[in-house]
Chains A and B, each alone.
With several copies, the nearest count.
Chain A
Amino acid sequence: MRVSEVQQEALTAEKAKWMYQKMVEIRRFEDQVHETFSTGTIPGFVHLYAGEEAVAVGVCSHLDDKDYITSTHRGHGHCIAKGCDLKGMMAEIYGKATGLCKGKGGSMHIADVSKGMLGANGIVGGGFPLATGAGLSAKLRKTGGVAVCFFGDGANNHGTFHEGINQAAIWNLPVIFVAENNGYGESTPFEYASSCKSIADRAAGYNIPGETVDGKDTMAVYEAAQRAVERARNGEGPSLIECVTYRNYGHFEGDAQTYKTSEEREQHLNELDAIIRFREYLLSNNHASEDDLHSIDENVREAVADAVEFAEKSPMPEADQLTTDVYVNYKPGGEE
């Protein structure tokens, strides 16, 4: 065995454990928010990412802070995978002054630009143009960065899908479009709303590579993303990856989910579960021991509990925060 191979394997195990940790962080975080929401402590609309962890983590494991992502209304998973602070996130969801956005954004708008996380987004399809612009910016400023646009199967029918991808393609921008096809947009099935058989089929219309992967198979996502990110970094332009996945909870908290069948839920929450499967992969490939994973689980449990405590104990924003941060510079009554 050559040294380089050893090193590569060592690196992979470390990365693999990091990935496992992030996936468990997302799951634990979302399960926690779900529980807390039902007690009425959390205000507003909350869309949970649980079940789709393999997508955010499989993709973001190829990115660092100079790379950008755009996210969706279902953004917690992307935030965590991109390195956002759990305490700051939880406090934001509670509307606290210590939140990543000082409580002004909430669940649907968590952002951390310093980490390349350009915000969850309440507008379906809002991310396509933004990701393209971030890719353009990275290219013009020659940072070597790429931009990833996460979007849902519902968003795939919005006009911005078309405009964003076409633009990234003609300008050959370092952008990766990652479809999270979880089968539904709110209560509407993908098959009803989308005329394409798969979202990946649409890539051909932009002359870019498109592929469909099992979005609950972490390594399948990881490998597809690796190819796409490499292409982008090498100046070969955008790609589209469709990840077929499932959301464990409803569209938002409070959704009765009558559009789902109990069989599909059963199957997705158990045998197809991405974390269970990735756990098995790690163990059977000797990337980690049961003990390793157990201690990750425990640490995550603690980290999320800390985040909740932090959020609960944090103060609400002060009244003067209502009208700050609208502009960098603005004199309401004009100059002088």
Chain B
Amino acid sequence: MARQISFADAINEAIKETMRNDENVILLGEDVAGGADLDHLGDEDAWGGVMGVTKGLVQEFGRDRILDTPIAEAGYVGAAVSAAATGMRPIAELMFNDFIGSCLDEVMNQGAKLRYMFGGHAKIPLVIRTMHGAGFRAAAQHSQTLYGMFTAIPGVKVVVPSTPADAKGLLISAIEDDDMVVFFEDKTLYNVKGEVPEGHYTIPIGKADIKRAGDDLTIVAIGKQVNTALAAAEQLAQKGIEAEVVDPRSLSPLDENTILKSVQKTSRLVIVDEANPRCNAATDISALVADKGFDYLDAPIKMVTAPHSPVPFSPALEDLYLPTPEKILAVVSELIDDESVVTI
């Protein structure tokens, strides 16, 4: 099985698989098809999403199930919540996670709480797909990484895949899940290719994946930062230091055991999260280990994150903004007394 497809295509396939299996699955969002009601286009899509991720779906499933929406995030995300509560399985695309500013109520106060407030007499099988991350020169309002905000909200599950294969299997799980799942897609990963199985398969939400095994040090990295961590691990290996790279894949629920076991083995922990540094997933994982894994630790828990500032537009600044293998090596050198670790 050597079929290589892109992260974007893997997501497209996941949606297709589930829509074929269950007619209650619908997709709605801004320009997810595009060109609605235009005679000269007919059933053809004009866009298939701003990045083309949902291209071709309207041709197969029609405009009743692939619904272009007005620019009204509260309107259609809220509609997706109650559609879910009344028997549908909607996938709502929030084009950029930054736009949660326009529909947080629908996610936090409605979707995430209805089941609890109704005493369990409702379920919300809703997936919100959303794009996040810096590195695209998209500036402060289109580059944030906000999974921490959602992880904080009870009633929401949070998934952040790092590879095409994980993206497909996790998205199918998310769509088939009976709870609300916010599914984060890093916009700089869309063109990255990888081996992806054909057909329907699932990856359980709440199961971390060890992307590289190692005994000397644990690096927990989220989303595309898994790649940064793997690059750092590669360089560390050349110095004889074997880092274990743990990809949590979902932040809520978080696979605590896999992380704790890894730290038990390595005694050292670095967390890489490209979000801003305060109250983020990195601090969450650090606090987990500082509590339940304290006795395993031989050194401080280090975090590599963005600084406490908005994402700058200028490429010169944005490149400094993100975590890099070098920044990881720099903190590793603080954990392991070996100056040679720092290559830059």
Contacts of B199 in A (CB 8 A): none
Cβ of A329 and Cβ of B64 under 8 Å apart?
A: no
Q: Is A5 an interface residue (CB 8 A)?
A: no
Interface residues as binary, B236-279 with A (CB distance below 8 Å gives 1, 0 otherwise): 00000000000000100111111000000000000000000000
Query: Interface segment, A15-23, A129-137, A231-239, A284-292?
Result: A129-137
Our pick among A112, A122, A192 for the contact of B142 (Cβ within 8 Å) is A122
B207→A164 contact, CB < 8 A = no
Mark out the residues of chain B between 28 and 59 whose CB falls within 8 Å of any chain A CB in the assembled complex.
30-31, 34-38, 40-41, 44, 46-47, 50
Is the beta-carbon distance between B253 and A133 smaller than 8 angstroms? no
Which B191-234 residues have C-beta < 8 A from chain A? 204-208
Which of A45, A129, A154 lies at the interface centre, i.e. has the most chain B CB atoms within 10 A of its CB?
Answer: A129
**Out of A134, A258, A325, which one reaches B82, CB within 8 Å?**
A134
| Contacts known (A103-B314, A191-B37); A44 close to B207, Cβ less than 8 A | no
Partner of A96, one of B24, B67, B105, B314: B314
The answer to whether B75 and A132 touch across the interface, beta carbons within 8 angstroms, is yes
**Residues of the A chain whose Cβ atoms lie less than 8 Å from the Cβ of B317:** 95, 103-104, 316-317, 319, 321-322
Do residues B121 and A130 form an inter-chain contact, with CB atoms below 8 A?
Answer: no
Distance in angstroms between the alpha carbons of A11 and B109 in the assembled complex: 42
Q: Which residue of A lies closest to B126 (CB)?
A: A133
Question: Which residues of chain B have C-beta atoms less than 8 A from A158's C-beta?
Answer: 70-72, 102
Q: Which residues of A contact B14 (CB under 8 A)?
A: none
Partner of B257 from A97, A162, A171, A336 at Cβ < 8 Å: A336
Contact present for A123 and B36 (CB under 8 Å): no
Asked if A185 is an interface residue, CB under 8 A from chain B, the answer is yes
Could you tell me if A103 and B72 are in contact, using CB atoms closer than 8 angstroms?
no
State A251–B48 Cα separation when bound (angstroms): 14
When the two chains form their complex, are residues A95 and B315 in contact, meaning their CB atoms are under 8 A apart? yes
Count residues of B near A (Cβ-Cβ below 8 Å).
93
Q: Which residues of chain B are near A178, meaning CB under 8 Å? A: none
A331 contacts the other chain (Cβ, under 8 Å)? Answer: yes
List the B side residues contacting A316 at CB < 8 Å: 314-317
User: If the complex has contacts A130-B110, A157-B72, A163-B72, are A123 and B101 also in contact, measured as CB distance less than 8 A?
Assistant: yes
User: With an 8 A cutoff between CB atoms, is B312 at the interface?
Assistant: yes
Q: Do A160 and B110 touch across chains, with their CB atoms under 8 A apart? A: no
Kindly state the separation between the CA atoms of A171 and B28 in the bound complex, as whole angstroms: 12
- A119-B114, A326-B155 in contact; A185/B76 too (CB < 8 A)? no
Contact A68 B86 (CB under 8 A): yes
Q: Which residues of A contact B116 (CB under 8 A)?
A: 104, 325-326
Q: In the bound complex, how far is the Cα of B67 from the Cα of A158, in angstroms?
A: 17
B83 contacts partner chain A, Cβ-Cβ < 8 Å: yes
A123 to B204, CA, bound (A): 34
Q: Is A334 an interface residue (CB 8 A)?
A: yes
Cβ-based interface call for B183 (8 A): no
Contact A45 B79 (CB under 8 A): no
B122 on interface, CB distance cutoff 8 Å: yes
Give CA–CA (A322, B30) in the complex, Å: 32
| Chain B residues whose C-beta falls within 8 Å of the C-beta of A113 in the assembled complex | 85-86, 118, 121-122
Interface residues in A161-194 (C-beta closer than 8 Å to B): 162-164, 166-167, 170-171, 185-189, 191-194
Give chain B residues whose Cβ lies under 8 Å from the Cβ of A103: 119, 312-314, 316-317
Q: Which of A99, A155, A259 neighbours the largest number of chain B CB atoms within 10 Å of its CB?
A: A259
For residue B298, CB closer than 8 A to chain A, the reply is no
Q: How many A-B Cβ pairs are below 8 Å? A: 326
Chain B residues in 8 Å Cβ range of A205? none
Contact B75 A129 (CB under 8 A): yes
The docked-state distance in angstroms from the alpha carbon of A57 to that of B76 is 29
Shortest CB-to-CB span from A97 to chain B, Å, is: 8
Determine whether B139 belongs to the interface, using a CB cutoff of 8 Å to chain A: yes
In the complex, which residues 87-133 of chain A have their Cβ closer than 8 Å to any Cβ of chain B?
95-97, 99-109, 111-114, 118-119, 121-126, 128-133
Asked if A167 contacts B70 (CB within 8 A), the reply is yes
Closest to A252 in B: B50
Whether B121 pairs with A101 at a CB distance below 8 angstroms is yes
Task: Report the Cα distance A259→B34, complex, angstroms.
Answer: 8
Residues on A with C-beta less than 8 A from B118 are 101, 104-105, 109, 111, 113, 119, 325
CB–CB A333/B137 < 8 A: no
How distant is A79 from chain B, measured CB to nearest CB, in Å? 12
In the docked arrangement, what's the CA distance between A259 and B24, Å?
29
* Minimal beta-carbon separation of B73 from chain A (angstroms): 8
Given known A-B contacts A101-B121, A133-B86, A330 and B138 have beta carbons under 8 A apart: no
Tell me the complex Cα distance, A109–B138, Å: 10
Taking CB atoms, residues of chain B closer than 8 Å to A134 are: 82-83, 85-86
Whole-angstrom distance between the Cβ of A149 and the nearest chain B Cβ = 10
- Which of B64, B67, B71, B78 is close to A128, meaning CB atoms less than 8 Å apart? B78
Contact between chains at A323 and B309 (CB < 8 Å): yes
Asked if A258 and B41 make an inter-chain contact with CB atoms under 8 angstroms apart, the answer reads yes
A332 to B64, CA, bound (A): 37
The contact of B34 among A109, A187, A321, by CB within 8 Å, is: A187
Q: What's the Cα separation between A44 and B117 when bound, in Å? A: 15
With both chains docked as a complex, state the minimum distance between the C-beta of A173 and any C-beta of chain B, in angstroms.
9
B68 within 8 Å of A by Cβ? Answer: yes
- Residues of the B chain whose Cβ atoms lie less than 8 Å from the Cβ of A191: 37
28 inter-chain pairs at a CB distance below 8 angstroms, sorted by A residue, are A122-B139, A123-B109, A129-B110, A130-B78, A130-B110, A132-B78, A133-B78, A133-B79, A133-B84, A137-B86, A137-B88, A141-B86, A157-B71, A167-B75, A167-B76, A186-B34, A193-B70, A316-B317, A317-B316, A326-B309, A327-B155, A327-B179, A330-B206, A333-B255, A334-B254, A334-B257, A335-B253, A336-B257
Residues on A lying within 8 angstroms of B by beta carbon are: 43-45, 68, 70, 95-97, 99-109, 111-114, 118-119, 121-126, 128-134, 136-138, 140-141, 154-155, 157-160, 162-164, 166-167, 170-171, 185-189, 191-194, 258-259, 261, 316-317, 319, 321-336
| Nearest 4 CB-CB pairings of A with B | A129-B78, A334-B255, A106-B313, A163-B75
